[in-house]
Amino acid sequence: MTESRSLHDNVFIFQIPGCTYQSCFVAGLIAENPSGMHYDPLMRLLLVEDEIDIQSFLRSSLEEAGYQVEAAADGKTAERLAVDGQFDILIVDLGLPDQDGISLIFKLRQMGLHAPVLILSARRSVDDRVRGLEQGGDDYLTKPFALAELLARLRNLLKRNSPSGTEATRLRVLDLELDLLRREATRSGELLQLTTQEFVLLEFLCRNAGRVVTRSMILDQVWGMRIQPDTNVVDVHIYRLRGKVDGLGQQPLIRTLRGVGYVLKDR
C-alpha cells in the first residue's frame, strides 16, 4: 500500500466482524434502517467447504455475524443436511472431493431448495455455468476473499430473496441525509457539494452503514469492475468524500479500517 499519511487520520481498529452486523441489526430496529429490511436474528446457513482450515474460520466468523451455521465437507453430507434442515442461505465451494459444486447446486435445486447460494471458487476462470447461476439470483466470490465482502454478499443475497418493500427514496444515517430522487446529500441540514460519482459512493456507504465495505466491494458496486489496482485510487476517493462529508467540528462519519476497508458510522 502506498497510502499517504493524510489518509490515516481516521483509523480505528476493526472490532469483530459480527459486531458490525449486530449493531446494524439493532440500528435497523431503532433508527431508520437504510436497507429497509429486518433480519431474523438466526439465519440458518449451510456451509459446504472441504478445506478444514477455511471451514473453521468461516464457521466462527459467520456465527459471530449472527448466522446459525451447519457445515458439510462433501456433497453427500451437504445433500443430507439440506434435506433435513430449512436453510435460508448456502455457501458452496466449487471444488468438493466427491462432486462438482455446481452439480450439487443443481441437485439441491431439483430437490426443491430455494435458498440463494453464494458460490466460492478457487478456480481461475469463472465457469459459464457459474455465470448462469449468477443470473438466476445466486452470487459468486473468488478465493481468497475478505470476510467483509463475504458477509456483504450474503446480506445482498438475503435481501434479494426477501419480499421487498417499497424502495426508499431517502436514506438517513445519523444527521446525514440522502435524497435519492434529487441526488442531493445534506449533513445537519447543510447541502453537500458532491459530484455524481461521489454521491453514488456515499449512497453505497449509506446503504451499508454500520458495516464494513472493502475496496474491491466499492470498485465492484460503484465503478462496476472487479479489479485490484495496486495504487490507492479508492482511498483518494474516500479521502475526498470524507473532506466534504466530515466538516470541521462535526463527528467523523467515514472511518478507515486498515487492511479491511471502510465503514460509515451509524451511531
Partner 1 sequence: MSSKTAKPVMRSAAWRISLWATLAFACGTLLVFIFLHRFVAGDIQRRSDAWLSGEVEVLGDVAERTPKNALYDRVVGEVAELAGKEVPNKDLTENRSNDSVFFLQTGSDGSLKLWVGAGSGESHLKAIEGTKIVPDRPTDLDVRGFEFPFRVASIRINDGSFIYLGLSERDELRVLRSLRLKFFLLWLLLVLLGFGIVFFTTRRMLSHVREIAEAASRIGHSDLTARVPTTKRNDEVSHLALTLNRMLDRIESSMHQLHTITDSLAHDLRSPLTAIRGKLEVSLSAVTQIEQAEPIVSVIEELDRLTDFLNKSLDVAEAKADALRLNRVPVDLDELLRIMIDLYEPSMSEKGLLIRLQSSGALTIEADAALLHRMIANLFDNELKHVPAACTINLRLSTEDDAASFIMEDDGPGFDPEVLSHLFERRVRGKESNGHGLGLAFVDAVTRAHGGAVTAGNRESGGAQIAVTFPLLANEQSRAPMAAMRGAS
Binding site for partner 1 (CB under 8 A): 1, 11, 13-17, 51, 53-54, 57-58, 60-61, 95, 122-126, 128, 131, 142-147, 197, 219, 223-233, 236-237, 240, 258-260
* Nearest to partner 1 of 113, 213 (CB atom): 213
Q: In angstroms, what is the minimal distance from the CB of 242 to partner 1?
A: 12
Rg (CA), the chain: 19
* Nearest to partner 1 of 22, 232 (CB atom): 232
Q: In angstroms, what is the minimal distance from the CB of 131 to partner 1?
A: 8
Which of 113, 112, 109, 115 lies closest to 90 in space, CA to CA? 115
* Nearest to partner 1 of 82, 120 (CB atom): 120
* Nearest to partner 1 of 29, 122 (CB atom): 122
Does residue 41 have a cis peptide bond before it, meaning omega lies within 30 degrees of 0? no
- Distance from C-alpha of 258 to C-alpha of 214, rounded to nearest angstrom: 10
Residue 240's φ and ψ, nearest 5 degrees, are -65, -45
Q: In angstroms, what is the minimal distance from the CB of 185 to partner 1?
A: 18
Q: In angstroms, what is the minimal distance from the CB of 189 to partner 1?
A: 27
Cell numbers found for residue 219: 470498485
CA distances from 27 to 34, 89, 171 (A): 10, 23, 13
* Nearest to partner 1 of 33, 61 (CB atom): 61
Cell numbers found for residue 213: 465495505
Q: In angstroms, what is the minimal distance from the CB of 69 to partner 1?
A: 14
* Nearest to partner 1 of 54, 174 (CB atom): 54
Which of 201, 205, 104, 102 lies closest to 152 in space, CA to CA? 205
First to last CA, the chain: 30
The C-alpha angle with vertex 247 and arms to 218 and 206, in degrees rounded to 5, equals 30
* Nearest to partner 1 of 65, 113 (CB atom): 65
Antiparallel, parallel or unpaired: β 139-142 and 170-173? unpaired
Residue 59's φ and ψ, nearest 5 degrees, are -60, -50
- Distance from C-alpha of 81 to C-alpha of 38, rounded to nearest angstrom: 26
Q: In angstroms, what is the minimal distance from the CB of 128 to partner 1?
A: 7
Q: In angstroms, what is the minimal distance from the CB of 157 to partner 1?
A: 20
